Amino acid sequence: DNLALAKRCRGDFPLLSRQMHGRPLVYLDNAATSQKPQAVLDALQYYYQQQNANVHRGVYQLSEEATSAYEGARARVQRFINAAGVEEIIFLRGTTEAINLVAQAYARPRLQPGDEVLISAIEHHSNIVPWQIVCRQTGAQLRVIPVLDSGELDQAGFAELLSPRVRLLALTHVSNALGTINPVKEMIAQAHQQGIPVLIDGAQAVPHLRVDVQALDADFYAFSGHKLYGPTGIGALYGKRRLLEDMEPWQGGGEMIIQVSFEHTDYNQLPYKFEAGTPNIADAIGLAAALDYVDNLGLEAIAEQEQQLLDYGTQALQRVPGLRLIGTAQHKAAILSFVMEQAHPHDISTILDRCGVAVRAGHHCAMPLMQRFGIAGTARASLALYNTRDDIDVLVDALHEVVRMFGAPMAEGGQ
């Protein structure tokens, strides 16, 4: 069975054995956050029970142990995305905080009226709003790469928007709302030809694809741990050393300094310059455990299985009367976003919930994208390594329940 991996791993995730409304939970909201394997829960508990101390400060053994576990986690992240140096990994709360850091510490001092920041029409709000804020602060303009009906970016439109006025391209690797995998390597190369640095929002990519920041030649790459089977409250920003070194700190406090007087402060070296205050030590260690877990299974094997399940789900959903998939890109990660003629996404998700099926309904923090497709929102089933064909079958049965309750779709030309 080619879904053997999911079957083998399900038991590693304690939460998946819960029931909802008397039915076994079918968790299909993994793009929002994934469940955590026991290995991650154990790592968190071990840290708090055996190693808890503040890092980088104490000269006693316990603090040294905590420091080495925390710095080991940084090296683990470096290896996971193949960064050239461990100092290029900054631990932050997640993707949102990473993008805000780049907007404020990299872009803000470099932007002037007349400059442009380029994003795309399929961005999550966290890769839109920080750029709007910095554009307002500096008088720069936000420009948007258009999206085609398939959910793929309009590459001709992209080429036209590249100009010497563009000071930064900020682009999602994988769309959380549609699943589209953008050809980021090619787009980064095109931007670089014009000297434009590129930030990639990797929140939805790292759980599904092997990411190599050097092969991509990304200047900045941001992701969150909690979508990658790790804890909430921890994520990372990768930045090329040269760029990070040229940047001023974003937040001030302890950790990020070498020496402080009231007249003058010397900042610490990378990566500490960008980690003011006591860091999220435990969750960084939990994230490292999640990366071990994923790498033990093999991201390639996970990706292959998810693609098979995506194909299975795509075919099954297309047979549900009145259902339309939104996002039909050729290269897609394991996300099934859809609308139904007869029911609002919130009604769909409420009925699914009664059947034990957790999906998300709404705009998925991508309101401009929903406007582009002329819809208020979608229902979204998003897959992870532990999902099986059985999960899809329960989803499809529940969708037939929606059809029964709301009736068959109106004929063509009906309202």
Active site residues: 365
Q: Does 201 bind ligand PMP (CB under 6 A)?
A: yes
Q: Does 176 bind ligand PMP (CB under 6 A)?
A: yes
Instruction: Identify the CA nearest to 306 among candidates 235, 360, 383, 229.
Output: 383
Q: Does 337 bind ligand PMP (CB under 6 A)?
A: no
Question: How far is 223 from 162, CA to CA, in rounded Å?
Answer: 25
Instruction: Identify the CA nearest to 216 among candidates 74, 80, 75, 81.
Output: 81
With the C-alpha atoms ordered 201, 203, 204, 206, is the resulting torsion angle positive or negative? positive
Q: Does 94 bind ligand PMP (CB under 6 A)?
A: yes
Q: Does 203 bind ligand PMP (CB under 6 A)?
A: yes
Cα separations in angstroms, 410 against 119, 321, 325: 38, 10, 17
Q: Residue 113 Cβ, how far from ligand PMP at the closest point, in Å?
A: 28
Q: Which residues in 360-379 contact ligand PMP (CB under 6 A)?
A: 365
Q: Residue 95 Cβ, how far from ligand PMP at the closest point, in Å?
A: 4
* Contact residue for ligand PMP among 204, 268, 280, 337 (CB under 6 A): 204
Name every residue whose Cβ is closer than 8 Å to that of residue 111 and which is 6 or more positions away in sequence: 117, 134, 135, 137, 138, 139, 140, 167
Instruction: Identify the CA nearest to 276 among candidates 302, 252, 296, 246.
Output: 252
Locate tokens 């260690």: which residue? 285
Q: Does 182 bind ligand PMP (CB under 6 A)?
A: no
Q: Residue 298 Cβ, how far from ligand PMP at the closest point, in Å?
A: 23
Q: Does 224 bind ligand PMP (CB under 6 A)?
A: yes
Q: Does 349 bind ligand PMP (CB under 6 A)?
A: no
Alpha helix ranges (H) inside 82-183: 95-101, 129-138, 155-161
Instruction: Identify the CA nearest to 36 among candidates 298, 231, 295, 236.
Output: 231
Q: Which stretch binds ligand PMP (CB under 6 A): 74-82, 121-129, 236-244, 245-253?
A: 121-129
Q: Residue 172 Cβ, how far from ligand PMP at the closest point, in Å?
A: 5
Question: How far is 413 from 415, CA to CA, in rounded Å?
Answer: 6
Question: How far is 389 from 318, CA to CA, in rounded Å?
Answer: 15
Q: Which residue's CB is nearer to ligand PMP, number 31 or number 73?
A: 31
Q: Residue 112 Cβ, how far from ligand PMP at the closest point, in Å?
A: 27
Beta bridge partners of 24: 19
Q: 19-20 and 89-92 as β-strands: parallel, antiparallel, unpaired?
A: unpaired
Q: Which residue's CB is nearer to ligand PMP, number 205 or number 395?
A: 205
Q: Which residue's CB is nearer to ligand PMP, number 94 or number 313?
A: 94
Q: Which stretch binds ligand PMP (CB under 6 A): 62-70, 122-130, 256-264, 319-327?
A: 122-130
Question: How far is 170 from 192, CA to CA, in rounded Å?
Answer: 13
Q: Does 124 bind ligand PMP (CB under 6 A)?
A: yes
Secondary structure (DSSP) of 162-221: --TTEEEEEEESB-TTT-BB--HHHHHHHHHHTT--EEEE-TTTTTTS---HHHHT-SEE
Q: Residue 134 Cβ, how far from ligand PMP at the closest point, in Å?
A: 17
Q: Which residue's CB is nearer to ligand PMP, number 237 or number 289?
A: 237
Q: Which residue's CB is nearer to ligand PMP, number 170 or number 395?
A: 170
Torsion of Cα atoms, 16 then 233 then 130 then 264, to 10°: -170
Q: Does 56 bind ligand PMP (CB under 6 A)?
A: no
Number of residues that bind ligand PMP (CB under 6 A): 14
Q: Does 95 bind ligand PMP (CB under 6 A)?
A: yes
Q: Which stretch binds ligand PMP (CB under 6 A): 53-61, 138-146, 159-167, 196-204?
A: 196-204
| Interacting residues toward ligand PMP by CB under 6 A | 31, 94-96, 124, 126-127, 172, 176, 201, 203-204, 224, 365
